[in-house]
Amino acid sequence: MTNPLLESFDVVPFDRIEAKHFLPAVEALINRAKSDIDQITQNQDPPTFENTLLPLEFSSLHLERVSQCFFNLLSAHTSETLQNEAQHISPLLSHFKNDILMNAPLFERIKSIYNRKETAEITAEGQQLLERTYKSFCRNGALLTTVQQEEVRAIDSALAKATLTFGNNVLSETNAFSLPIEDEVTLEGLPKSFLARAAQKAKEKNLSGYLIGLEFPSYMPVMKFAKNRALRQKLWLAYGARAAQNNAQDNKAIISEIVTLRQRRAEILGYPNHAAFVLEERMAQSAQNVNDFLSDLAKKAKPAAERELEELQNFASEQENIEQIQPWDQSFFSEGLKKKRFNWDEEKLKEFFPLNQVLTGVFSIAKRLYGLRFEQDAAIPVYHNEVTAYRVFDEHGAFKALLYCDFHPRPSKRDGAWMTSFKTQHKTSQENHRPHISIVCNFTHPDAEGIALLTFQEVTTLFHEFGHALHGMLADTNYPSLSGTNVSWDFVELPSQIMENWCFQKESLSLFAKHYKSQEPLPPAYLEQINALKTFQEGMQTLRQIGFATLDMAYHDGQFDGQEVVAFERHILAPMQLLKHQHPYVMSTAFSHIFQGGYAAGYYSYKWAEVLDADAFSLFEERGIFDPQTAKSFAQNILSQGGTIDPMTLYKKFRGREPKNDALLKRAGLLPED
């Protein structure tokens, strides 16, 4: 069988790849990488950076590309075949990783170089690679006994399977739910565009009426606009019961397994818990620092959140005589309160943000800031017909990156939005190999005329993921493991979150915020509304995020000891919870960020990075949001450097000092203006 994944390729040949190609490709490439590593360990010359670190860094490059492709497809366009293959591929890769990190002769060579690092002639970036490689070996079992190493291997294999199962269960439960509705009266309050899509979904299933699901573009409009309180309640409870229904897709036991395995792994490696293991390599450094950070924010946010909830309760009482607001009421009455206070009309605002126009706008902003130019290339193979590929060039016409954009939900795609890569930037003696980056979202599908209008939240989501993409596309480092978003997890959100700020600026909005029919610019009143809304219910939003981060830390800093998941979650969230818990709602069983993704003991980084982004953007505000020197400094000191330099050092090179919390608190309306 000819396997396109085993051939040398630059652009992933999606038009030739089949699911059956992945497992044999991974097996063959693992063997190829092992052979390369054997050559390193069998080298009789004294170990040096050039004969040990460099060949190790590039030994698995082809394997990593195939693995990236596989797991990206597993998230963005999965199938039962891919999910079955993952149960074989994931443990294989985990085992191979441990084969490297527990290879005693290889580690001895690395340790020899590390012990001579002060006198070795190695570049600053090379020193960083040496430091991270040595620590990676130590943090993954190189210093353990053989018996301990075998236990770590078993744990890693079990974790690989458990996290995959967790994600598959969430996707399965999301797809399994559908609510047919016969009459339009039940859907009173929902926009016509939503009704048209719901009717189309029903038609596709050979049903009459309308069909509502739990994918976000279907779920969230119901929570915001449906006047039928019972409908909102039904959907809210269904959303919160995903993977928590005591069936084959229940994730409660899997959560306990994942947390227990992570805890045991940390203990074997000499750490008190998984959070201590993770945070040792983060800007925050310790669980105590994270908890202090969250506690300080909570003190500022909770009084504001309580005032906001009281206001919302009063509004609900006035509007519908509701004595006690419930969680399924919050979004609905928040939308009503926004409309009353700001004359807010999300459906009207959407008309100024058609997807194609917003995408053109973010490309224009990237051109003004960083000189980038985007050209769609229909000849580039893609993994789904909804995916669009762009070639990216700099101001001098040099190729910088390939960008894939995948914007709409489908049953084969997991929920949420993310940036990923199909090829990591790196350099060899021959060339600077440019990255292939992907943005994946779940925005509302186009209407019958092919136009997808975005909510303002979706606009900021696109800008957020594009900020991550810039971090990947502008990478300019020598080594793939230090390139792009391969940075401390609590630093990785800075490029994404700072990009959201351009959604609120008149000068940038004028580039793309125009009515999809008349091309009328966004009216000044709407701009005022958008900026006024930056602080609307920010206390409640901040407290909600603090709750997520606190729950994450509680699972991973030793507080969880096999307790019943729902009871544990309720206990941890109680201090941050303003509304009474409603059975059977539980968020942990679908908390994919920490039980499937890479945010375990790291969810706090969203708020941590908000401090960085608010403080960093204040420099743009001082000098002009398109100031060329400020943009150049941000590109050179943040976006291009990857993990080659300590993140705080990079930040201070850009900002001239360490970040200050005040910028975030002021932006959130939690501190008085000067």
Among all residues, which ones are annotated catalytic? Answer: 465
Run of H or E including 178: strand 178-181
* Start-to-end CA span in the chain (Å): 70
Q: How far apart are CA 213 and CA 180, in angstroms?
A: 9
What span, in angstroms and rounded, lies between the C-alpha atoms of 550 and 572? 7
Distance separating alpha carbons of residues 40 and 56, to the nearest angstrom: 8
What is the CA angle 287-288-294, rounded to 5? 90
To 10 degrees, the CA torsion angle through 378, 382, 384, 389? -50
For 296, residues 6+ apart whose C-beta sits below 8 A from its C-beta are 661
For the beta carbon of residue 630, count every other beta carbon within 10 angstroms. Answer: 20
Neighbours of 638 (CB within 10 A): 25
Report d(CA 128, CA 643) in Å as an integer: 8
**Contact predicate 287/276, CB 8 Å:** yes
- Answer whether 91's CB lies under 8 Å from 161's CB: yes
On whether the CB atoms of residues 305 and 547 are closer than 8 A, the answer is: no
Q: Record the tokens describing residue 353, joined without a space.
A: 């943000």
What are the residues whose beta carbons fall under 8 Å from the beta carbon of 139, sequence distance 6 or more?
A: 269, 277, 280, 281
Cβ 6 vs Cβ 25: under 8 Å: yes
**The two three-digit tokens of residue 610, written as one number:** 């908000």
Cβ of 407: how many Cβ atoms within 10 Å?
24
CA angle (667, 670, 671) in 5-degree steps: 85
Sign of the Cα pseudo-torsion (304, 305, 307, 308, in order): positive
- 395 φ/ψ angles, rounded to the nearest 5 degrees: -65, -15
